[in-house]
């Protein structure tokens, strides 16, 4: 028999209470893990944005177009490395509810700007040769089970095809993959030129420009130069880093996000308080036993440690189970939600935070009874009973 | 019984202060107890028997005065030093047994041995010996809840003697037991005193329990009134 | 029966009187149920507020025309010739000046959100006098209406709450064009308040829309009756147009935040399981704490069902207190709270959390559910407790 065994015996003396307490902690951490994953998924666009990438949009709003001529004008500016452009297609597959993020891009420059994406050279060449060709992201390929060579109809809820209807036929020519698994690839790209030629509005406007600078230190200077270049023109621009742009986009969802996290974390801490209360009371019930231990000659410090160990054990059993549960749940739903919420995963940060909270819970719930035990006066403990 | 004093109390004063009120239990109490003696302390409820025992066991401190154990004062020791002292010198037996409800008899008895350097095998042997001594070898795996009061008290005695302390302090050890069971327990204490040389100090208000002792002290109004065993 | 009732009352009274003995455990149960309810209500009130804001905008006697398949105004385009054809459709009400119909379009412009100080989408809607009249709840709070043919605009009250820089008298630049804010309007809290309004012809001119619009609103002769119009559209191949009542359109749009309600229900249900575990702990502790009393009463001759009822009542009382506290918390924290989010039309919808009575009822049901389950099993234990065992526990 060791002290650890005594801790174990104390912990398991009331099986029902142990189970219920563990379960409550389990639930708390399950929610914590799942909601943190959700938050991480929403923020991942910001996190994964490249340092030297800028986004140029119409100053009125990013849904307003820019003249095509801006592409070359921006390219000519100092400090600009590569420029590409994209148009929002408003795509869906079969039914309007099955949204498919689709963009019309310039193939020759797109992968120069998004150099964290890779594609088989052969597939890329084929795509460049085929104007009805489509490239799909790895996540889309996984989600729909599409392969190179598949013929896919994609409809637009904005544009109409010259030949009538809103649907275009495409052939998948390749699948682009990210270098870092967290990079979002849940979208498809088609040729800008083909898109402009076949939709009814015509015109040559582009949705927005994306460019890379020679170095991140030039970002501000380049952004200013671009906006200054088009000031007082028909389409003034607003240039920001990809990070800032993504962040502003997330902010559009608004403090609703904040409310969710606020509310959920409030709940998380409440459960911890409730659980902590149970644990404190559980030790208080044992006041007399602790007095016996002391009478037998166990040192106060030794009892102090035993009580803390017990609370840490409890917190870690429930907490780790909860995190494993969250891991399983998140893993289970992330495939299904890949289209809406890519990067739904429990990152190392969340694990670290969770461990931190487990330590905190173990400490806070253990320290009060442990100190009480440390201070416990044997005489009054017995007379109290 | 040797002629050596195991305890010597000199000018012992004990007062409880609660707020403004001071309750005086002992004023200038003096007492010597010989090593190997079996002393019963009797007296009406509230006369301070438990308080005295607590001071002898080093779980309570006198307000002033000296408590000498084996020639050394223990009243000045720190809490940690006292814990160590208790672990090696004193075995306690309580009225309500105070066994750990979640541990079986064997493990309850083993508890004091956790405070020694003994290896687990040696510990087991000692526990078995102690349980055998109290006649509960076959109940080693039983939980306290599965034992009768007398059996629980015998486990508690095994626990008190397992680390082989010189001194046993018993506070109303038979207060919760019927006559026959009480006598069995008292015989066991007597045996421990006679055969194993343990010094036993037992608080009781039961005259027939006191008969098992060699010496009976009557505590009344903070003073000892020594009487002969001719009750 | 009578005896059962009087026994039960006696036991309930004793249970409640002994509550202070278990103060902390009881408080823990109350707080846990309260928080579960607050969370549930926060999400429900959010979804409800959003829904009400959109639904309130829709009227049953207005037909709404969009390009087929576009689902939202944002994606729709209608040509001048299509507008002309719709003007001749049957079933549309007329007044002295002709059919009551408003062609509308909007540009999405940037507004700076007060909360985050970042740019967010808001709609600059082009409408007309007729269009304004068609919004029944329209009220000009300050200033005047925009003049036709000018770059004047009026601002919804919701925009003023959530965005900087749209105050009356301000000049605002969208691209190279300058706009003057000449009025502030309210539409009774619905989604139109999250918009900027001006003359649709000016918008067509300034933002290269030619003569196209995005939507048509037309007053119906008979509320809700769009059958004739549907027929008319079907028979004309030039009209690739969807029509529905404005009420239907907005009630579909209002559902776009329903995932919030679902999310809230899921998360609070999971949370409820955690709270339930805590509550069970409380109630088992309570039974253990009262075991002597229960045993004593049983010895005297009280029935075991009275022990059951007493325990169950205690847990229901605690959870109901928690539910009320949670509803109060949700009310104080969230009810009426103004916020904005991206709506189905890709623009900001300013709305307020709405904690209506039926939602509070849902919250209370959740709390009482916790009380019922967490009371039942311990009550069962109390009822089955053998009298002798109860006496033995110290
Ligand atoms: N911790 C304490 N604080 C205050 N008074 C105490 C305390 N412990 C004991 N007393 C008082 O001291 C007196 C003696 O108590 P005790 O030694 O327990 O008596 P006995 O064991 O002889 O019945 C009693 O009047 C009791 O109320
Ligand atoms: Mg006493």
* Closest CB from C24, C46, C342 relative to A252: C342
Return the residue of A nearest to C264 by Cα.
A260
- Give residues 153 to 212 of C whose Cβ lies within 8 Å of A: 174-176, 207
Counting ligands in written order, the one closest to the CA of B55 is 1
CA distance A27 to C274: 5
The answer to whether residues C115 and C233 belong to one domain is: yes
Predicted confidence (pLDDT) per residue in A32-79, tens digit:
998 888 888 877 777 778 889 999 999 888 888 999 999 999 999 999
CA distance A206 to A64: 9
Q: Which residues in chain A have Cβ-Cβ distances shorter than 8 Å to B159?
A: 296
Structural domain contains residue C348: no
| CA R_g for chain A | 29
Atom in ligand 1 nearest the alpha carbon of residue B43: 22
Predicted confidence at residue B45, as pLDDT, reads 87
> For A360-377, what is the mean pLDDT?
88
The answer to whether residues C209 and C320 belong to one domain is: no
CA distance C244 to C215: 12
Chains that touch B (3 or more CB pairs under 8 A): A
Structural domain contains residue C251: no
* Closest CB from C70, C207, C339 relative to A256: C339
Q: Which of C177, C204, C239 is the last residue of a domain?
A: C239
Structural domain contains residue C61: no
Counting ligands in written order, the one closest to the CA of B25 is 1
The answer to whether residues C100 and C205 belong to one domain is: yes
Q: Which residues in chain C have Cβ-Cβ distances shorter than 8 Å to A251?
A: 113, 116, 118, 120
The answer to whether residues C229 and C135 belong to one domain is: yes
Token output for C103: 């062609």
CA C385 to chain centre: 48
Structural domain contains residue C47: yes
Residue C25 sits in which domain range? Answer: 2-55+256-342+353-393
Closest to A178 measured CA to CA, from A169, A190, A187: A187
CA distance C325 to C354: 18
Predicted confidence at residue B227, as pLDDT, reads 61
Q: Which of C239, C267, C286 is the last residue of a domain?
A: C239
CA–centroid distance, residue B162 to ligand 2 (Å) = 25
A383 Cβ closer than 6 Å to some ligand 1 atom: yes
* Closest CB from B88, B92, B114 relative to A295: B92
Q: Which of C239, C274, C306 is the last residue of a domain?
A: C239
> For A278-282, what is the mean pLDDT?
80
**What is the reported pTM?**
0.81
Is it the case that residue B228 has pLDDT exceeding 60? no
Chain B residues with CB under 8 Å of a chain A CB are: 54, 57, 59-60, 79-80, 83-88, 90, 92, 94, 98, 100-103, 107, 110-112, 114-115, 120, 123, 159
* C79 interfacial to chain A (CB closer than 8 Å): no
> For A304-328, what is the mean pLDDT?
94
Predicted confidence at residue B9, as pLDDT, reads 93
Counting ligands in written order, the one closest to the CA of A382 is 1
CA–centroid distance, residue B134 to ligand 1 (Å) = 32
CB contact under 8 A, A252 and C281: no
Domain count, chain C: 2
Residue % of chain C over a pLDDT of 70: 97
The answer to whether residues C98 and C37 belong to one domain is: no
Q: How confident is the model at residue A229 (pLDDT cuts 50, 70, 90)?
A: very high
Structural domain contains residue C190: yes
Burial class (CB in 10 A: 0-12, 13-18, 19+), C9: middle
Question: By mean pLDDT, which of A369-373, B7-11, C167-171 is the weakest?
Answer: A369-373
Task: Name all domains of chain B by residue range, CATH numbers in brackets.
Answer: 36-62+78-228 (3.40.50.300)
The answer to whether residues C47 and C82 belong to one domain is: no
C74 φ/ψ sector (left φ>0, alpha ψ -120 to 50, else beta): alpha
CA distance A16 to C64: 61
A252 Cβ closer than 6 Å to some ligand 1 atom: no
> For C1-12, what is the mean pLDDT?
79
The answer to whether residues C227 and C274 belong to one domain is: no
> For B116-141, what is the mean pLDDT?
93
Q: How confident is the model at residue B157 (pLDDT cuts 50, 70, 90)?
A: very high
Predicted confidence (pLDDT) per residue in C306-343, tens digit:
889 999 999 999 999 999 999 999 999 989 888 888 88
Å between A384 CA and nearest CA of chain B? 14
Å between A291 CA and nearest CA of chain B? 10
B19 Cβ closer than 6 Å to some ligand 1 atom: no
Counting ligands in written order, the one closest to the CA of A383 is 1
Predicted confidence at residue A33, as pLDDT, reads 92
The answer to whether residues C89 and C199 belong to one domain is: yes
CA–centroid distance, residue B66 to ligand 2 (Å) = 22
* C306 vs B170, more confident: B170
Token output for C394: 């110290």
Predicted confidence at residue B229, as pLDDT, reads 46
> For C44-54, what is the mean pLDDT?
92
Q: Which residues contact A166 (CB under 8 A, 6 or more apart)?
A: A155, A156, A157, A159, A160, C69
CA C374 to chain centre: 31
The answer to whether residues C73 and C210 belong to one domain is: yes
B49 Cβ closer than 6 Å to some ligand 1 atom: yes
* Closest CB from A17, A64, A264 relative to C267: A264
Predicted confidence (pLDDT) per residue in A62-121, tens digit:
888 999 999 999 999 999 999 999 999 989 998 887 889 999 999 999 999 999 999 999
Predicted confidence (pLDDT) per residue in C175-205, tens digit:
778 999 999 999 998 999 999 999 999 999 9
Structural domain contains residue C62: no
Predicted confidence at residue A1, as pLDDT, reads 77
Residue % of chain A over a pLDDT of 70: 97
CA distance C251 to C387: 61
The answer to whether residues C78 and C211 belong to one domain is: yes
Token output for B106: 């064997």
Å between C349 CA and nearest CA of chain A? 10
Predicted confidence (pLDDT) per residue in C115-127, tens digit:
888 888 999 999 9
Predicted confidence at residue C288, as pLDDT, reads 87
Is it the case that residue A269 has pLDDT exceeding 80? no
Predicted confidence at residue C391, as pLDDT, reads 54
CB contact under 8 A, A64 and C348: no
The answer to whether residues C230 and C143 belong to one domain is: yes
Predicted confidence at residue A209, as pLDDT, reads 95
Predicted confidence at residue B230, as pLDDT, reads 43
Structural domain contains residue C247: no
Structural domain contains residue C63: no
Computed over every residue of chain B, the mean pLDDT equals: 91
Residue % of chain C over a pLDDT of 90: 61
The answer to whether residues C290 and C388 belong to one domain is: yes
Task: Give DSSP secondary structure letters for C6-55.
Answer: HHHHHHHHHHHHTGGGGHHHHHHHHHHHHHHHHHHHHHHHHHHHHHHHHH
* B17 vs A316, more confident: A316
């Amino acid at each position: 028999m060791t002290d650890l065994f005594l801790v174990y015996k104390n912990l398991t003396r009331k099986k029902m209470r142990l189970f219920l307490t563990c379960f409550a902690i389990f639930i708390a951490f399950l929610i914590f893990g799942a909601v943190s994953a959700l938050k991480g998924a929403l923020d991942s666009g910001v996190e994964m944005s490249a340092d030297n990438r800028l986004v140029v949009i119409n100053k009125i709003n990013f849904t307003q177009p820019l003249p095509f001529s801006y592409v070359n004008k921006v390219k000519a500016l100092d400090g600009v490395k590569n420029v590409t452009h994209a148009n929002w297609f408003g795509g869906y597959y079969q039914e309007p509810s099955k949204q498919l993020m689709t963009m019309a891009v310039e193939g020759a420059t797109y992968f120069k700007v998004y150099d964290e994406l890779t594609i088989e050279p052969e597939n890329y060449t084929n795509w460049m040769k085929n104007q009805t060709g489509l490239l799909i992201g790895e996540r889309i390929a996984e989600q729909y089970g599409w392969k190179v060579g598949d013929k896919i109809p994609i409809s637009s809820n904005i544009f109409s095809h010259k030949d009538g209807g809103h649907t275009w036929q495409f052939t998948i020519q390749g699948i682009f993959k990210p270098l870092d698994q967290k990079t979002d690839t849940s979208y498809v790209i088609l040729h800008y030129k083909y898109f402009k030629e076949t939709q009814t509005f015509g015109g040559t406007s582009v949705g927005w420009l994306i460019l890379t600078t020679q170095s991140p230190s030039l970002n501000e200077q380049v952004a200013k130069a671009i906006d200054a270049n088009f000031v007082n023109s028909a389409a003034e621009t607003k240039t920001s880093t990809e990070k800032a742009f993504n962040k502003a986009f997330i902010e559009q969802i608004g403090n609703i996000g904040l409310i969710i996290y606020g509310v959920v974390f409030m709940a998380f801490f409440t459960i911890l308080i409730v659980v902590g209360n149970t644990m404190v009371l559980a030790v208080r019930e044992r006041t007399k036993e602790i007095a016996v231990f002391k009478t037998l000659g166990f040192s106060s410090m030794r009892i102090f440690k035993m009580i803390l160990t017990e609370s840490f054990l409890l917190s870690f059993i429930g907490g780790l189970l909860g995190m494993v549960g969250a891991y399983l749940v998140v893993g289970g739903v992330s495939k299904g939600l890949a289209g809406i919420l890519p990067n739904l995963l429990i990152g190392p940060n969340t694990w670290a935070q969770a461990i931190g909270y487990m330590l905190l819970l173990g400490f806070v719930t253990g320290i009060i009874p442990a100190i009480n035990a440390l201070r416990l006066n044997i005489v009054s403990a017995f007379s109290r009973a | 019984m040797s002629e050596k004093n195991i305890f010597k109390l000199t000018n012992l004063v004990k007062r409880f202060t609660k707020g403004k009120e001071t309750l005086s239990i002992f004023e200038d109490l003096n007492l010597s107890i010989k090593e190997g003696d079996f002393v019963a302390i009797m007296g009406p409820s509230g006369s301070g028997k438990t308080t005295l025992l607590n001071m002898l066991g080093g779980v309570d401190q006198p307000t002033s005065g000296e408590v000498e154990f084996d020639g050394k004062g223990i009243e000045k020791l720190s809490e940690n030093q006292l814990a160590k002292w208790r672990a090696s010198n004193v075995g306690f037996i309580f009225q309500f047994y105070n066994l750990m409800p979640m541990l079986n008899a064997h493990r309850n008895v083993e508890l004091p041995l956790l405070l020694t350097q003994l290896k687990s095998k040696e510990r087991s042997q000692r526990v078995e010996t102690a349980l055998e001594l109290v006649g509960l070898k076959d109940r080693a795996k039983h939980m306290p809840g599965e034992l009768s009061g007398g059996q629980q008290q015998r486990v508690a005695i095994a626990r008190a003697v397992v680390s082989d302390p010189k001194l046993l302090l018993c506070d109303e050890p038979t207060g919760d037991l019927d006559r026959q069971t009480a006598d069995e327990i008292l015989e066991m204490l007597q045996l421990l005193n006679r055969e194993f040389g343990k010094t036993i100090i037992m608080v009781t208000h039961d005259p027939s329990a006191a008969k098992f002792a060699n010496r009976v002290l009557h505590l009344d109004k903070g003073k000892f009134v020594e009487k002969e065993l001719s009750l | 029966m009578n005896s059962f009732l009087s026994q039960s009352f006696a036991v309930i009274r004793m249970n409640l009187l002994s509550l202070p003995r278990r103060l902390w455990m009881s408080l823990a149960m109350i707080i846990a149920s309260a928080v579960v309810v607050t969370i549930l209500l926060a999400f429900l009130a959010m979804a409800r507020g959003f829904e009400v804001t959109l639904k309130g905008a829709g009227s049953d006697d207005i037909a709404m025309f969009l390009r087929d398949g576009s689902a939202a105004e944002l994606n729709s385009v209608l040509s001048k010739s299509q507008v002309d054809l719709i003007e001749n459709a049957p079933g549309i009400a007329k007044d002295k000046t002709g059919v009551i119909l408003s062609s509308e379009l909007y540009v999405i412009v940037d507004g700076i959100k007060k909360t985050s100080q970042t740019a967010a989408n808001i709609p600059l809607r082009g409408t007309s006098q007729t269009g304004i009249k068609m919004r029944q709840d329209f009220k000009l709070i300050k200033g005047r209406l925009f003049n036709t043919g000018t770059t004047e605009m009026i601002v919804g009250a919701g925009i003023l709450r959530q965005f900087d820089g749209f105050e009356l008298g301000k000049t605002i630049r969208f691209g190279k064009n300058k706009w003057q804010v000449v009025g502030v309007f309210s539409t009774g809290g619905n989604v139109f308040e999250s918009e900027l309004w001006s003359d649709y012809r000016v918008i067509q001119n300034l933002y290269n829309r030619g003569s196209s619009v995005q939507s048509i609103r037309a007053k119906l002769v008979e509320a809700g009756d769009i059958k004739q119009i549907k027929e008319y559209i079907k028979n004309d191949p030039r009209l690739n147009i969807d029509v529905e009542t404005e009420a239907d359109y907005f009630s579909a749009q209002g559902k776009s935040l329903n995932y919030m309600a679902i999310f809230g229900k899921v998360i609070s249900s999971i949370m409820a399981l955690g709270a339930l575990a805590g509550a069970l702990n409380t109630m088992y502790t309570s039974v253990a704490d009262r075991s002597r009393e229960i045993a004593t009463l049983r010895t005297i001759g009280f029935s075991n069902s009275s022990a059951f009822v007493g325990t169950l009542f205690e847990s229901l009382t605690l959870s109901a207190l928690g539910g009320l506290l949670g509803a109060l918390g949700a009310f104080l924290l969230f009810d009426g709270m103004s916020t904005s989010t991206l709506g189905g039309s890709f623009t900001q919808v300013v709305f307020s959390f709405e904690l209506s009575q039926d939602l509070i009822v849902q919250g209370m049901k959740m709390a009482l559910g916790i009380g019922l389950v967490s009371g039942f099993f311990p009550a069962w234990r109390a009822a089955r407790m053998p009298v002798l065992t109860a006496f033995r526990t110290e």
